[in-house]
Amino acid sequence: MEANKDQAGIIYAATRKEVDSVYEFLNKKGYKAGRYHAGLSDKERARNQDEFLYDDIRIMVASNAFGMGIDKSNVRYVIHYNMPKNMEAYYQEAGRAGRDGEPSECIMLFNPQDILMQKFLIEQSFLTEERKTNEYRKLQAMVDYAHTTQCVRNYILKYFGEESTEECGRCSNCTDDREESDITVDAQKIFSCIWRMKERFGMSLVAQVLRGLKNKRILQFGFENLPTYGLLRQYTDKEITDRINVLIAEGYLTLTGGQYPVVKLAPRAVRVLKGEEKVFQKVRKKQQKIVEDNALFEQLRQLRKELSQRDNVPPYIIFPDSTLREMSEYCPTDESSMLAIKGVGEAKMKNYGQPFLELLQKYAEEHALV
């Protein structure tokens, strides 16, 4: 949005509440935005639509009901604030950008919570069970789209019955410069765990077994005795389920339909277990070491001590020494590179990351590292 200040854009959100929340946030930030959803009066919806159509406002935050009756050709970007319910909706909404033939962007923001929201909306609908099953199948195709590492244009074409072997060269996956990493061993551990759990459970429980947790369900089924129990204890639940989602999107695993899908092995997974096929996934590039400075390490330790006293927690709870040492070596100056540091997960970044990031940014400026 900052890069398209004078351009028209549409932001789609999944619920009225989300539309209102984003609309209020943008206006507080100084953006002149309108909103559109079924909870507004006909008069307000019509006024907002006209203001957007005639460029009196540049940004429209809307539910998926918006855009059906207008043909505004100069929309430069469409952002999906939540994952849509199916590919049909996504393609129709994304297609509202760039109708004048000029370069435009379509960005989908995705959070696993979006899946739960869409499942809730399906369950609350008055559809027959058969129709609900079909909606779950379509939703899974959308989840696969969010996780695929292939050319996303080709994914869309294949979904709608067209085949293309030529990559577009322009989508986020085609232009992804992250390093390709061999994850075959981790994939084999996941496949083996699913097989040993008799292919009867969802990905959350599979992840918990691989992490080595001891909750009621794991003890109930005796999964703590499996050879695969705790094999991926170095990862978080989210990291394991993200990896499972990628393996589903790439055709190594399948999910049954319904509100509580079960994860099963596909023929490709068997080939991987037999050592006949390798599995690769793109990961963040490892930063080159910028500096090895004990003075910076001590500054980071001092900051950690202040935060530990403030929150009355031991310093290692905030970040261990090994994480501070890596920070002092690579000196990350943005959130993305900070998250690449071992020991800095999303929760730690949210709770403690900002003061450390500010210290590192200041250090980088003072020592001409940026």
Neighbours of 297 (CB within 10 A): 17
Instruction: Outline where DSSP puts E strands in 48-205.
Output: 59-62, 75-80, 105-108, 179-182
3-state secondary structure of 143: helix
What are the phi and psi torsion angles at 45 (to 5°)? -65, -45
d(CA 303, CA 95): 48
Domain boundaries, the chain: 1-176, 179-283, 294-366
CATH class name, domain 294-366: mainly alpha
Tokens of 177: 């410069």
3-state secondary structure of 11: strand
d(CA 194, CA 252): 12
Percent helix, strand, coil in the chain (nearest 5)? 50, 10, 40
Task: Supply the pLDDT for residue 244.
Answer: 94
d(CA 348, CA 341): 11
Amino acid of residue 59: I
* Site of tokens 């210290």: 359
Neighbours of 128 (CB within 10 A): 9
Residue 166: C-alpha distances to residues 90, 150, 155, 332 (Å):
22, 11, 11, 36
Amino acid of residue 164: S
What region, left, alpha or beta, does residue 26 occupy, with left being phi > 0 and alpha being psi -120 to 50 degrees? alpha
Task: Supply the pLDDT for residue 284.
Answer: 62
Residue 274: C-alpha distances to residues 184, 240, 244, 334 (Å):
11, 22, 19, 42
Domain spanning 1-176 has what CATH number?
Answer: 3.40.50.300
Task: Supply the pLDDT for residue 6.
Answer: 82
Task: Supply the pLDDT for residue 5.
Answer: 81
Task: Supply the pLDDT for residue 288.
Answer: 55
Tokens of 47: 């006024």
Using alpha carbons only, give the angle 323, 325, 329 rounded to the nearest 5 degrees: 115
What region, left, alpha or beta, does residue 301 occupy, with left being phi > 0 and alpha being psi -120 to 50 degrees? alpha
Question: Average pLDDT by consecutive 10-residue portion of the chain (370 residues)?
Answer: 88 94 94 93 92 90 76 90 94 91 91 86 90 93 90 94 88 85 94 96 95 93 96 90 90 85 93 93 62 78 92 88 88 88 89 94 82
With CA atoms as reference, report the closest residue to 285 among 148, 181, 174. Answer: 181
d(CA 84, CA 64): 9
Task: Supply the pLDDT for residue 132.
Answer: 92
d(CA 224, CA 237): 16
What are the phi and psi torsion angles at 222 (to 5°)? 70, 25
Please list, in sequence order, all residues whose beta carbon lies within 8 angstroms of the beta carbon of residue 234, skipping any fewer than 6 positions away: none
Neighbours of 308 (CB within 10 A): 17
DSSP string, 222-264: TGGGSTTTTTTTTS-HHHHHHHHHHHHHTTSEEE-SSSSPPEE
Domain spanning 179-283 has what CATH number?
Answer: 1.10.10.10
